[in-house]
């Protein structure tokens, strides 16, 4: 962890402050494996473009990460995921009920932080993002095993990944007094789109140890993502659907790679990142935001 990440991690534990020890146990466990704190870092870096005092930013950055972590707790229960970033998922250790309720606590804690340290604009942006995220997760669940139109795929990833990244940038802009904060939300959606597309590409060609989950895990669960969508017209759709429904996807994965589905996805993601960078270049102190967003497409395979 760098200094900012260490500060965020410490404040995540500090603000959590539950009375019931089991909530703290689950919180510490999931927070210890929640990654590089992309969303709170992005909020802080965006606010820094407008010289906002970091003391005003940190509680809202923490609240945003609570939303993200709560969604991970809930998603792992819904998906019955066994691993999260190379560790057993929290629900396999603490049980489904405790993890769902801990996630609920984190949602409530985020609302508490925003009602205390934020304003109506920041609360509205965050709540809209959570609604978008929740609906996207339902849409993805209902779409398992289906061949998706490209627009449906974007609707899913813009909600489940893009919305909170958009919220991070919009809330940073709100703190900086920007009236055009929804422009930052929209550009964050594109950054999130690139982030998720790289994840979807790495599901085909990634390193299992670095991914923290088995390669091919998503497609085995029946998720139709951009690598497959980009080459679907070159494939027998009935055979593809059969593979998605049965989870027998070894041959399909290799075929998608051979047809250029993975390279198509990386290329598309890079294009979105270039749009984001073009938007940001007019703002001073945008280097940290740009550097963080460039990591979205340069993650280790």
Q: pLDDT 10s per residue in the chain (301 long)?
A: 678 888 898 999 999 999 999 999 999 999 887 678 999 999 999 999 999 999 999 999 999 999 999 999 998 998 888 888 778 999 999 999 999 999 999 999 999 999 999 999 999 999 999 999 999 999 999 999 999 999 999 999 999 999 999 999 999 999 999 999 999 999 999 999 999 999 999 999 987 766 666 788 899 999 999 999 999 999 999 999 999 999 999 999 999 999 999 999 999 999 999 999 999 999 989 999 999 999 988 876 4
User: Tell me, what's the pLDDT at 279?
Assistant: 98
User: Tell me, what's the pLDDT at 104?
Assistant: 96
Cβ contacts of residue 28 below 8 Å, gap of 6+? 13
DSSP annotation of 283 reads S
- Is the Cβ–Cβ distance between 12 and 5 less than 8 Å? no
On the 0-12 / 13-18 / 19+ scale of CB atoms within 10 A, 150 is exposed
Q: What is the pTM of this model?
A: 0.94
The secondary element (H helix, E strand) that includes residue 46 is helix 38-48
**Structure token pair of residue 240:** 């593809």
- Residue 140 exposure: Cα atoms within 13 Å on the Cβ side: 25
Separation between Cα atoms, residue 4 and residue 34, nearest integer Å: 15
**Distance from the first to the final alpha carbon of the chain:** 20
Separation between Cα atoms, residue 222 and residue 203, nearest integer Å: 12
User: Tell me, what's the pLDDT at 99?
Assistant: 95
Separation between Cα atoms, residue 164 and residue 159, nearest integer Å: 8
Separation between Cα atoms, residue 300 and residue 287, nearest integer Å: 21
- Is the Cβ–Cβ distance between 193 and 207 less than 8 Å? no
């Amino acid at each position: 962890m760098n200094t900012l990440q260490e500060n965020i991690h410490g404040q995540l534990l500090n603000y959590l402050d539950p009375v019931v020890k089991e909530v703290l146990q689950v919180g510490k466990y999931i927070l210890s494996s929640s990654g590089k704190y992309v969303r709170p870092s992005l909020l802080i870096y965006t606010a820094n473009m407008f010289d906002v005092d970091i003391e005003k930013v940190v509680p809202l950055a923490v609240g945003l990460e609570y939303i993200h972590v709560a969604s991970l707790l809930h998603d792992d229960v819904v998906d019955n995921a066994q691993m999260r970033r190379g560790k057993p998922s929290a629900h396999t250790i603490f049980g489904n009920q405790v993890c769902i309720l801990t996630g609920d606590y984190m949602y409530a804690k985020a609302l508490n932080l925003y009602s205390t340290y934020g304003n109506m604009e920041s609360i509205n942006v965050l709540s809209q993002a959570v609604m978008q995220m929740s609906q996207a997760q339902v849409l993805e669940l209902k779409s398992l095993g289906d061949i998706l139109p490209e627009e449906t795929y974007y609707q899913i990833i813009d909600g489940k990944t893009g919305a909170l990244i958009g919220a991070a940038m919009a809330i940073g802009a709100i703190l900086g007094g920007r009236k055009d904060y929804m422009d930052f939300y929209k550009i964050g959606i594109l950054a999130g789109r690139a982030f998720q597309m790289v994840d979807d590409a790495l599901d085909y060609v990634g390193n299992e140890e670095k991914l923290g989950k088995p390669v091919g895990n998503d497609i085995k669960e029946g998720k139709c993502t951009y690598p497959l969508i980009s080459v679907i017209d070159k494939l027998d759709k009935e055979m593809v659907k059969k593979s998605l429904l049965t989870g027998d996807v070894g041959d399909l994965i290799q075929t998608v790679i051979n047809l250029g589905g993975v390279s198509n996805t990386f290329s598309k993601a890079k294009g979105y990142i270039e749009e984001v960078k073009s938007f940001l270049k007019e703002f001073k102190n945008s280097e940290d935001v740009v550097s963080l967003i460039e990591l979205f497409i340069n993650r280790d395979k």
